[in-house]
Amino acid sequence: MAKQTTILKEVSVEGIGLHTGNKSVIIFKPAPDSGYGIKFIRTDLPGNPVVEALLSNTIAGSAVRGTVIEKNGIKIHTIEHIMSACFALGIDNLIIELSNSEPPILDGSAKIFTEILLNGGLKEFSAVKEYYVLKESVYFESGKTKIFAQPSEQLEIECTIGFDHPFLRFQKMILKNLDKNFYLTHIASAKTFCFDYEIEVLQKKGLALGGSMDNAIVIALNGIHNKEPLRYKDEFVRHKILDLIGDLYLAGRPIKAKIIADKPGHNNNINFVKEFLKKAVVEKDEIANNITDKSTMNLSFIETETETEKILGLEEILNYIPHRYPFLMIDKVKINVASPLKAIGYKCVSANENFFQGHFPGFPIMPGVLIIEAMAQTSCVMFLSRPKLRGCLAYFTSIDKAKFRRPVKPGDVLELKVEVLKDSGRRGKMKGEAYVDGKLTAEAEFMFVIVDKVDRNKVASES
């Protein structure tokens, strides 16, 4: 059974706060016992007042560009990166002494906090770790933000962001099973970001006073202003996941659930946690484990290729087909190198899919025609990844023998098996089958024609 933890020894770091611009020293100290929780202590104020990192201490509407906690008028600003690191490292109990109202922003990510806490070592208590778990789904919506949670045996996160901006329109990431080693490699280093036109507005509101190119990514019209390149191509959605993990930890215990978040932000994250706790129950860990376990976390769409399989992730898919949000219907494609006329596509069906708004309210079902579209997109990737067809387009010419056997709902993972029945170079006939949990949900046969982009206006007469 996993046990509650704290750190072994005191560690510290100093710097300036992102929003207040105040210099501060932060000292992490071992908690005295299990059940202590995570507590911030303002050492700059008389009596060293304590503010617990709990949802009950959040301030309604205050988490505009960072998460703020307050107790008896004492505020702590921008705690989400620290809380995110604590969640990922499995730290349940911790004393955090702070010499001002805001922790240092450091490089704008959680990387340095995570490394410092790891340097402090981890110590187990005898008490068993407790989790918040779900027995039923939770749905939260506010403005453009939608967050859906369903029961799971670990924390899984599917996050989508989208902006009306030429450089940052859409990014999506899916991860499974939070683990400290993978978090440090793939999430912790993602930096906070803002658009250049926001800076003056933020500073007039008393925010981003400590912001700079060293601790934030500033997005321009067609790129970024920073000299340092992005740490990840999808760094922006990774940082949103980093923040979401930190905000989730304000529940007071680690969470086990599958979280599907579309356009999350601090205020809405906190309001979602409030709804989550209404349906969550506390359970003690029952799985044999300890703090030295090997990494088990993985990005579900980052896998190791073999000699017989070629795996194309989202970024590669976007290089081969023109489909984009909200009409991109696949997240990953496996192509069988030994049998190049077969492929398998995967689609994680999110509760945030736009078609669920009208199909159907209160009883969401994925339209069958979009399942066939997902099969077709899988086929397109298989064909258009061939060197001689790079840069071409594929068009439907017919659909036949379509059958829909089971509904596909939010939270399902579609496995889309396609096979070539006839290959005439630039025309072909495909058979597609869609499965959820090994059960056939839909099938169809369809034909297509591949054209050069310059010839796409001729397709109507040809087909």
Q: Nearest to residue 237, comparing CAs of 312, 299, 309, 318?
A: 299
Single-letter amino acid, residue 422: K
Residue 462, pLDDT score: 46
Cis-peptide into 264, omega within 30 deg:
no
Q: What are 54-95's pLDDT values in tens digits?
A: 999 998 666 668 999 999 999 999 999 999 999 999 999 999
pLDDT of residue 82: 98
> What are the catalytic residues?
266, 359
Q: Measured in whole angstroms, how far is the alpha carbon of residue 262 from the centre of its chain? A: 9
Q: Which residue positions in the chain have pLDDT lower than 70?
A: 60-64, 286-309, 338-339, 454-463
- CA dist., res. 3 & res. 153, Å (int): 17
C-alpha–C-alpha distance, residues 7 and 354, integer Å: 44
**Residues whose CB falls within 8 Å of the CB of residue 96, separated by 6 or more in sequence, listed in order:** 26, 27, 28, 29, 38, 39, 40, 41, 82, 103
Structure confidence at residue 454 (pLDDT): 55
205: number of Cβ within 10 Å: 12
Per DSSP, the three-state class of 76 is strand
Q: H helices of 249-311, where? A: 266-279
Q: Which two tokens stand for residue 8?
A: 């072994």
**CB atoms closer than 10 angstroms to residue 299:** 15
Joined tokens for residue 274: 């409030």
| Residue 463 confidence (pLDDT) | 41
> Domain map of the chain by residue range?
3-284, 309-462
Residues 6+ apart with CB under 8 A from 437: 412
Buried b (16+ CB within 10 A) or exposed e, 175-197: bbbbbbebbbebbbbbbbbbbee
Using omega within 30 degrees of 0 as the cis cutoff, is the peptide bond preceding 163 cis? Answer: no
Residue 249 is given by DSSP the state G
The whole-number pLDDT of residue 62 equals 63
Query: What number of residues does the chain have?
Result: 463
CATH architecture of 309-462: Roll (3.10)
Question: CATH number of the domain at 3-284, out of 2.60.40.420, 2.70.160.11, 3.30.1700.10, 1.20.1540.10?
Answer: 3.30.1700.10
Q: Cβ of 141: how many Cβ atoms within 10 Å?
A: 14
Transcribe 77-128 into DSSP letters.
Answer: ---HHHHHHHHHHT---EEEEESSSS---TTSSSHHHHHHHHHT-EEEEEEE
List the one residue out of 267, 236, 262 whose CA is nearest residue 80: 267
